[in-house]
Amino acid sequence: MGSTITEKILARAAGTDAVQAGDNLPARPDYMIAYDFPGYTDVMFRQMHDDFGIRTLSDPERYVIFIDHMLTKGNEKEQEVHQVTRDWCDFYGIELHEARGIGHQVMAELGYALPGTFLIHFDGHISGAGAFGALGWGVRRDLLEAWVSGQIFLDVPATTRFELDGEFAPGVDSRDLVHRIIADHGADGCAHQVMEYAGPGARAMSIDRRQGLCGMAMFTGAVSAVFEPDEKALAYANRVARKEFTPLLPDADAEYTAVHHYDLSTITPQVVLPGSARSAHTRSAAELTGTPVTKAFIGSCASGRIEDIRAAALVLDGRTVASGVELNVVPTSDAVHRQAEDEGLLDVLRKAGAQIARSSCDFCFGYQKPLQPDENCISTGVLNISGRMGSTAANIYMGSAYTVAASAVAGTITAAEEVSRS
């Protein structure tokens, strides 16, 4: 019997010839990634130092820290939080990437997310690394296990394969696809599994779209998602790689729990109702037309990449954000910000009335400009649970950058195709 991409990556990480779904074994991550956040990294560093007595790391290059949360108030508390992180990284010789953008994007730009590699983080959106044929797994507090032992015990996950054909229609992207998949297969449709994307539609999809798609894997119950690494992924990886890597493809006789087929040209704009991304909350954007919004947000680790900003600019060019609506656009990284500036996209957005903020995670978790009670926000953020972006009495709808931009113009939830016809 052949192996899936995931089985091959974990076999490599476990230092063995082959593993099978269901095996429980320790695997050695290529990189162990975290962002600093009170109660997480500060506690873990203190545990590693005080409780475990670890004073030096044999391989500090496998530890990676980002500062991407709590960057926008500039107050003393922020400085204290980040100084603790700087001090620990200095002590252990760990590379710290500060304020360069959202870590789940910057890790790609800096060559950590490479085909065939195994990455872990306490945060599940590390799954976006799957765009490059890497396995990114959010392990919550078990990150400490890897920090102190160099390895982590895992159940090798089974895989559901998604064969994609066709290309997205105008005004539609991979954000719509992931919510369609959740609607079709349930919030536990891929529970404890990895989603493996392949086929002509996958190969035609841009890296940005793949990152957005893989980064949302947890909402199908999956532990991660991974694309078959192709020429696009290899071209990106070869440009940025910080170490050698071996791309891994699934065997033709690999065993899958299920194989689903999607024709991307049939996907339509989707919007998720406030509360959670569960399947019963997924609607065709058309069904929600007319729902008023006061805030619109394009950003987060699942959006805000150059293609998302191009999408917003396409919709907003020559139009203006509706009166009473605030559209905030946060590029996913400084590099994306510069590119969007160079392409003239940010000028288009500013002219339309959008506000452009420095890259960080702060909008998405309600730290920057928190929503007020009874506000309706349409967002490309990753999560729409009550209280996520501010008040627990605010409502967060989720959709693609196209849909958010179109809704900002209309002042009500609207798919981009409606705007382009008007």
Partner 1 sequence: MSAARDYPPPPDLIEGRVAWVFGDDFDIDLVIGVENIKSYDAEFLRSKVMQAYDPTFADRVRPGDVIVGGRNFGYGHPHYPPMVALRDLGIAAVLAESFSPGFWRGETYNGMPLLTVPGITDAVTTGDDVSVDWRKAAVTLADGARLHGTPPSDRVVRVIEAGGSLKLLLAEHSRV
- What sign does the CA torsion over 43, 48, 53, 54 have? negative
Evaluate whether 87 touches 105 at the Cβ level (below 8 Å).
no
Give yes or no for residue 185 binding partner 1 (CB under 8 A). no
Give yes or no for residue 179 binding partner 1 (CB under 8 A). no
What is the DSSP-derived secondary structure letter of residue 157?
Answer: P
Give yes or no for residue 27 binding partner 1 (CB under 8 A). no
Choose which of 268, 289, 339, 386 interacts with partner 1 (CB under 8 A).
Answer: 386
Choose which of 2, 18, 80, 153 interacts with partner 1 (CB under 8 A).
Answer: 153
What is the DSSP-derived secondary structure letter of residue 113?
Answer: S
In angstroms, what is the minimal distance from the CB of 350 to partner 1?
Answer: 33
Query: CB atoms < 10 A from the CB of 337, how many?
Result: 22
Give yes or no for residue 10 binding partner 1 (CB under 8 A). no
Please give the helix or strand (H or E) that residue 328 lies within, else none.
Answer: strand 326-329
Q: Which residues contact 276 (CB under 8 A, 6 or more apart)?
A: 187, 384, 385
In angstroms, what is the minimal distance from the CB of 164 to partner 1?
Answer: 24
Which residue lies nearer to partner 1 by CB, 24 or 323? Answer: 24
Report how far residue 99's alpha carbon sits from residue 94's, in angstroms, rounded to the nearest whole number: 16
Binding track over 107-136 against partner 1, x by CB under 8 A: -----------------x------------
What is the DSSP-derived secondary structure letter of residue 36?
Answer: -
Interaction residues for partner 1, span 225-284 (CB under 8 A):
276, 278
Beta strands in 47-144, from DSSP E residues, in sequence order: 63-67, 95-98, 118-121, 135-138
In angstroms, what is the minimal distance from the CB of 238 to partner 1?
Answer: 32
In angstroms, what is the minimal distance from the CB of 214 to partner 1?
Answer: 15
In angstroms, what is the minimal distance from the CB of 72 to partner 1?
Answer: 20
In angstroms, what is the minimal distance from the CB of 371 to partner 1?
Answer: 13
In angstroms, what is the minimal distance from the CB of 53 to partner 1?
Answer: 4
Which residue lies nearer to partner 1 by CB, 144 or 178? Answer: 144
Give yes or no for residue 222 binding partner 1 (CB under 8 A). yes
Segment interacting with partner 1, rule: CB under 8 A, options 5-13, 316-324, 354-362, 386-394: 386-394
Report how far residue 223's alpha carbon sits from residue 285's, in angstroms, rounded to the nearest whole number: 27
In angstroms, what is the minimal distance from the CB of 25 to partner 1?
Answer: 9
In angstroms, what is the minimal distance from the CB of 195 to partner 1?
Answer: 13
Q: Is 148 exposed, middle or buried (0-12, 13-18, 19+ CB in 10 A)?
A: middle
Report how far residue 91's alpha carbon sits from residue 60's, in angstroms, rounded to the nearest whole number: 11
Total of chain residues touching partner 1, rule CB under 8 A: 40
Give yes or no for residue 16 binding partner 1 (CB under 8 A). no
Report how far residue 360's alpha carbon sits from residue 342's, in angstroms, rounded to the nearest whole number: 20
Please give the helix or strand (H or E) that residue 203 lies within, else none.
Answer: helix 200-204
Segment interacting with partner 1, rule: CB under 8 A, options 148-156, 225-233, 291-299, 353-361: 148-156
Q: Which residues contact 364 (CB under 8 A, 6 or more apart)?
A: 297, 299, 300, 301, 379, 381, 382, 383, 388, 389
Give yes or no for residue 47 binding partner 1 (CB under 8 A). yes
- Residues of this chain that interact with partner 1 (CB under 8 A) are 24, 39-40, 43-44, 47, 50-54, 124, 138-142, 144-145, 148-149, 153, 155, 186-188, 191-192, 218, 221-223, 276, 278, 383, 385-388, 392
